[in-house]
Chain A
């Protein structure tokens, strides 16, 4: 699986949009971009994933550049409960078997009042 690069930490004011960047310049054509987050003392929580097109769900939006070498996770109105470590992961989608996720060190997002 391709390697990802994320800033180690970011701050965001409550109520503002949090934009978390991720570089995955070696991503290949069959690899999806996944985002997970981990709140203290809990297991990682799935947020969103995409291949080429931008995606939106009830939690967040995912913007993937046209060349797919980078993406941005957007939390439109951050709250204190969004304080967590956010992981950007690329994962191959091969026929026959699912593949494991390889977690990096993520971005620690601190939402402040």
Chain B
């Protein structure tokens, strides 16, 4: 079945340019997460969307980073005025929270590798 899809798989951009990264979650999943992973590092939480609730933006590293989720499905992560330290793999995940016990696992995409030159 279809998993979490991210595009593009690779993105090279010049310092100072804006980039948009896209995530298509698993159909029906109400929760959507963005993480990033720098080379050789662990996963760093960025932002989390749950249904119609206000998103948890506590992990966004600066105001150059923003994300939106339109229609409760597709999400776009935008990085403005990119810097070299933004180079990383940006991972999206989704989960179903229909289970009241709310212990549904996250399903990850394979990420977008962003390189800022």
Q: Which of A32, A46, A106 contacts B106 (CB 8 A)?
A: A46
The answer to whether B45 and A102 touch across the interface, beta carbons within 8 angstroms, is: yes
- In the complex, what's the smallest C-beta–C-beta distance from A58 to chain B, in angstroms? 14
Could you tell me if A43 and B42 are in contact, using CB atoms closer than 8 angstroms?
Answer: no
Interface residues of B in 33-74 (CB under 8 A from A): 33, 35, 42-43, 45, 48, 50, 53, 56, 59
Cβ A91 vs Cβ B108 within 8 A: no
Q: Which residues of B contact A102 (CB under 8 A)?
A: 45
Q: How many residues of chain B have a CB within 8 Å of chain A?
A: 28
B21 within 8 A of A: no
B114 at the interface (CB under 8 A from A): no
Q: Would you give the shortest CB distance from A42 to chain B, in whole angstroms?
A: 5
Rounded to whole angstroms, the CA-CA distance of A91 and B109 in the bound complex is 20
Chain B 24-35, CB within 8 Å of chain A: the 1/0 string? Answer: 000000010101
* CB of B95 closer than 8 Å to a CB of A: yes
**Considering the chains assembled together, what is the distance between the CA atoms of A8 and B35 in angstroms?**
21
Contact B42 A46, beta carbon cutoff 8 Å? no
Q: Which of A47-66 contact B (CB under 8 A)?
A: 49, 51
The size of the chain A interface, using a CB distance under 8 A, is 26
Q: Are B102 and A43 in contact (CB under 8 A)?
A: no
Quote the shortest CB–CB distance from B108 to chain A (angstroms). Answer: 3
Interface residues of B in 62-117 (CB under 8 A from A): 91, 93, 95, 97, 100-111
With A46-B107, A49-B105, A105-B42: A100-B56 Cβ-Cβ less than 8 Å: yes
Interface residues of B (CB under 8 A from A): 4, 31, 33, 35, 42-43, 45, 48, 50, 53, 56, 59, 91, 93, 95, 97, 100-111
Other contacts beyond A97-B53, A97-B97, A100-B48: 9, CB < 8 A = A32-B103, A43-B109, A43-B111, A44-B106, A46-B107, A49-B105, A93-B102, A100-B33, A104-B42
Query: Which residues of chain A have a CB within 8 Å of any CB of chain B?
Result: 32, 34, 36, 41-46, 49, 51, 87, 91, 93-95, 97-106
